[in-house]
Amino acid sequence: MKDAKVLKNSYYDSVTLMSTTVQIKKDLGLNDLVMFMGTDMNKDMIKSVGLYHESLDEAKPNDLMLAIDMQDTIDHWVDEVIKRLNSKKKTEKKGEQKLTSIHQAKDVLDANIAVISVPGIYAAHEAFKALDENMHVMMFSDNVSVEDEIKLKDYAIEKDLLVMGPDCGTAIINGKGLCFANQVKRGSIGLVAASGTGLQEVTVIIDRFGGGITQAIGVGGRDLSEAVGGKMMIKGLDALDEDEDTKVIVLISKPPHQTVLEKIKERLKHVTKPVVLCLLDAHLDEKIDRVSFVSTLTDAAIESLKLVGIKTPDLLAFDDQLKDQIKKNKQRFMPSQTKIKGLFCGGTLTAETLSILRPLVNKVTSNVAKKTDEKMKDPRVSDGHNLVDLGDDIFTQGKPHPMIEPTIRIDRILQEAKNPETAVILLDFELGLGSHEDPVGITLSGIEDAKKIAAQENRSLAFVGYVCGTEHDAQGLKKSENLLKNAGVIVAKTNAQAAVIAASLVNEVK
Amino acid sequence: MNPKILGIDREIIESLKVNGAEVQGVYTSTIHLLLNDLLITVGHKVGYGKHHVVTDQAIDFYAYDLTTKTKVTYEKHQIKIGSLVLDVDEENIRTYQPYLKTFRFNTNTLKTISRLKDMVRDRHHYNVFSFPKDNPWLSYQFEKIDIFLHAPGLPSALSIMGLGMGLTPLGDDILTGFILGLNTVNKTLPWIETLIKEAKHKTSRLSYQNLNDTYHRFYPDIFIQMIEGLFMENDIEKATAILKLGASSGAGILTGFIYGLMA
């Protein structure tokens, strides 16, 4: 059934209209819903797809046209649309105090850390204000120029402060998670990381086996570039070395620039505490006293736990039940099904999977790869073993990050299900602060639909999932894992194990 | 203490004194005022421009219970918008001038524009260079846009005017960028003036104003930074601030801009 409505003199920005359209279509089970300004060209467009209704004739260019195609009549659809559009306007909760500047926040709250999340071109300006007020800075904002980043970090070092970021998504300071972080126990392990989901993965594994965190400092992905020179990685390392509660230090990063690596190695020679250095995808020959070198996030967690006296089981091992699941899934594949399609929300989890799969399967490509021959030609196009970070700018322009809004991954899951070469769909789910309230639950219908699509061509897909979270996260680790298990998904203990399971399913484990 | 205004055009002040204005739309961090026939955007992060009023701090306009038609007045160096009062210092009243600098191509700028095109293609999901072909709404829009970009003229321009979602439909963003590109390399096309006149009744008020301002070379500062970045420093990074505008606005403006330069 088709219907339409004109909202006189109604303006909404395109981001609001797009996100509201997607959500309402899903929630009300609509065939289609469009919301366009009442211009002649938009009327023609609505006519061209057969959604036009004569009531739209009266719409003028400053009016908003709503046109709907629904399976069953929903009387309240207009009210629902208006309610959803307007709900995005309500920003202030009762009892919350509205502070409008960093200066005011410092005065009223006596805050000692500022989280900056404004468009990149303004972020440096706000960060300088915070540093002037002697506050540490966490910059969630990206698109900050490298020149500004260097100036900010130099100024912070001069004032003995931290600048975490730009583009820093995760930190845990004095037990308080900032932006995307999990609820983990406090303890004796301190971390510095140029990697958001990398930091989350290591902290949740530490938590799972009884370890705890003193501080988890993010530094932003560009800190270890030649230009920035690892200023905050070294500053963070120094801070943890001086911190009495920290007994073991973990550093996490993708491979830094060689000159920066040399600086870090030099600094490590003078650190007084044991350090676990996790450089994903890199190899370090040199031995340094008290420094353990690892190349996966799982190993970084295991090694740091070992250093504080906690033993862990082999997190890559397959038990009998898992072996049986793998065997059964493999038996159902058609001959054409030979490829792994990793669809990730976490960038570092994508990078870790690439590092693990590289020696296990033939030719794997990814949009996070640094090596030219491993780069996906177009991350939107599936071809061979692919690991796609859906948090990449190309997928998130004008849209929320998939950790916040995982439904944007569902379209890609369905796309991969149509591809006859797809055998395994590998998924990560991040729980905790900042993430979607139920990232697993919202994805289940996509998994179900993908299986149906494959079944129409007598194919059977294997889904492998990993949930990065703790039992104390609001979403609940066990609850999320159980939802996946009930949907027939093979659930891994760590991101690294998920990669190895995927490789086993396509029979390429060497 | 009242929020302060850091930048406002003198003509806006003069017009406010005489005629006053009214609220046209309220959003989380910006507000639109209707001043005679002009839309004035007020906010902390709106960027300096002839029809932009920049405040010294972020203001949650919803907190002031403002609605459409709320009266706006100016007296004694204060703009009053319902219960919201904004202080205006004389030193922050500006006289915006059209941006008249023009540029010529050389080998380096051609390479830079090519990189800019790659950036729009690679960093944005919705653009004319590559878009999800199975989406009927996008296909409809991009087919028309493609015709305009490859055969720019009044009919093809009118066929995309007002086409698309949001405050500034994608078709208008393309046209804004196209005119910006033409201006940048000092080209004129005879039908643009007619196009601007048509815009007054064929698209939304805000979109018309953007087109009209661009045609008369009154650019927001991010446009100027991008142009000078491209032509004076061969740097495409300043264009990222534009690429981030709206869901598709930024990619639309940059796409139109590239084709306008080459027209």
Per-residue pLDDT tens over the stretch B243-260: 877 777 888 999 999 999
Q: How far is B120 from chain A (nearest CA, A)?
A: 9
> Environment class of residue A87 by beta-carbon count within 10 Å: exposed (0-12), middle (13-18) or buried (19+)?
exposed
ipTM of the complex: 0.75
Question: Using a CB-CB distance cutoff of 8 angstroms, which residues of chain B are in contact with residue A122?
Answer: 45
Percentage, residues of chain A above pLDDT 90:
65
Q: Name the residue with tokens 């639109």.
A: B32
Task: Give the closest residue to B112 by CA, choosing from B221, B226, B231.
Answer: B231
Q: Cβ-count burial of A409 within 10 angstroms (0-12 exposed, 13-18 middle, 19+ buried)?
A: buried
Q: Which residues in chain B are closer than 8 Å to A93, comparing Cβ atoms?
A: none
Chain A residues whose CB is inside 8 A of the B141 CB are 45
pLDDT score of A91 more than 60:
no
Task: HSE, CB side, 13 Å, CA atoms: give it for residue A239.
Answer: 22
Task: Please state, in angstroms and rounded to a whole number, the distance separating the CA atoms of residues B63 and B26.
Answer: 11
Q: Answer for the pair A345, A430: CB distance below 8 angstroms, yes or no.
A: yes
Give residue-wise pLDDT tens across range B90-129: 999 999 999 999 998 888 888 898 899 888 887 776 666 6
pLDDT of residue B130: 63
Question: Would you call B45 and A118 a contact, using CB atoms and an 8 Å cutoff?
Answer: yes
Place of tokens 């500047």: A101
Nearest to A39 among B60, B169, B248 (CB): B169
Prediction pTM value: 0.61
Residue A93 has pLDDT above 60, yes or no: no
Phi, psi of A4 (to 5 degrees): -155, 165
Most confident of A99-103, A398-402, B220-224: B220-224
pLDDT at position A333 over 60: yes
Interface test with A, best of B48, B201, B204, B223 (most A CBs within 10 A): B204
Determine contact: B134 vs chain A, CB below 8 A: no
Please report the pLDDT score of residue A98 as a whole number.
Answer: 65
Beta bridge partners of A388: A343
Interchain contact, B163 vs A118, CB within 8 Å: no
Run of H or E including A191 = strand A186-193
- Categorise residue A243: left if φ over 0, alpha if ψ from -120 to 50, beta otherwise: beta
CA distance B136 to chain A (A): 8
pLDDT band at A509 (very low <50, low <70, confident <90, very high): very low
Q: Which residues of chain B are within 8 Å of residue A61 when distances are taken between CB atoms?
A: 162, 201-205, 207
* Helices marked H in chain B: 10-19, 107-123, 136-150, 154-158, 170-184, 192-202, 205-215, 221-233, 240-243, 249-262
* SS3 state at B155: helix
Does B25 lie at the interface with A, CB-CB under 8 angstroms?
yes
**What ranges do the domains of chain B cover?**
4-94, 107-262
Token look-up 């996030």 returns: A297
| Nearest residue to B95 (alpha-carbon basis) of B129, B151, B48, B42 | B48
Check A394 against B244: CB less than 8 A apart.
no
CB within 8 Å of B143: residues ≥ 6 apart: none
Chain A residues within 8 A (CB-CB) of chain B? 9, 11-15, 17-18, 34-37, 39-42, 45, 48-49, 61-62, 89-92, 98, 100-101, 118-122, 143, 145, 378, 380, 393-395, 397-399
Number of Cα atoms under 13 Å in the Cβ half of residue A295 = 10
B6 phi and psi angles, rounded to 5 deg: -95, -20
State both tokens at B85.
């009062």
Q: What pLDDT shows up at residue B178?
A: 96
Please give chain B's pLDDT, 263 residues, in tens.
Answer: 789 999 999 999 999 999 899 998 887 678 889 998 888 999 887 788 899 999 998 888 877 878 888 999 999 999 999 889 999 999 999 999 999 999 988 888 888 988 998 888 877 766 666 666 667 788 888 889 989 998 899 999 999 999 988 778 899 999 999 999 999 999 989 999 999 999 999 998 889 999 999 999 999 888 999 999 999 999 998 898 888 777 778 889 999 999 999 87
Sort out which chain B residues have CB atoms less than 8 A from A388's CB and list them: none
B118 touches chain A (CB under 8 A): no
Task: Name which of B122, B165, B235 to mutate to probe chain A: the one with the most chain A Cβ atoms within 10 A of its Cβ.
Answer: B165
Count of all residues that appear for chain B in the document = 263
Please, which pLDDT band fits residue A10 given cuts at 50, 70 and 90?
confident
Task: Please report the pLDDT score of residue A406 as a whole number.
Answer: 87
Q: Which carries the bigger pLDDT value, residue A250 or residue A143?
A: A250
Give Cα A19 distance to the centre of its chain.
19
Q: Can you point out the beta strands (E) in A359-401?
A: 364-366, 385-389
Give the model's pLDDT for residue A510: 40
Please say whether the beta carbons of B220 and B204 come within 8 A. Answer: no
